[in-house]
Amino acid sequence: MGAVRAVPAVTISAAIMGPLLTGQTDTFGATFRNGTLNWIGNGAAAAIWAPLAIYIAHSVSQTSTREAVPQAAEADVVAVEGQKEGGM
């Protein structure tokens, strides 16, 4: 997750937007260092906030924590009960 957010942001900012807008250029090493640190930071943030987001989502929607009953199992129960009543 960190790489998905970090690499494009740092690369576009340093290699494309910086020279065009401000005339500032960075070396490849500086871009790589900033990208790596941003990658680690975004990955850590995702690791911290993802469980909290899942907890909040479950607390908002209580039905998302229950397991669904398979429809095929209900149909089998109804069919078996129908056979018992019809056979006797």
pLDDT attached to residue 31: 81
How many CB atoms within 10 Å of residue 6? 20
Full pLDDT tens readout for the chain, 88 residues: 666 767 777 777 777 887 788 777 778 888 888 888 888 888 888 888 988 988 888 888 776 666 656 665 555 555 555 566 555 5
User: Which two structure tokens, joined as six digits, stand for 66?
Assistant: 């229950």
Number of other CB atoms surrounding residue 63 within 10 Å: 7
How confident is the model at residue 38, as a pLDDT?
A: 85
For 48-76, give the DSSP string. HHHHHHHHHHHHH-GGGGSPPPPHHHHHH
> No. of H helices and E strands in the chain?
3, 0
Q: What pLDDT is attached to residue 54?
A: 85
Domain count, the chain: 1
Domain with 37, as residue range(s), is 2-87
Cα(65)–Cα(55) distance, rounded to whole angstroms? 10
Which residues are CB-neighbours of 52 under 8 A, at least 6 positions away? none
Predicted TM-score (pTM) of the model is: 0.50
Task: Give residue 55's pLDDT.
Answer: 86
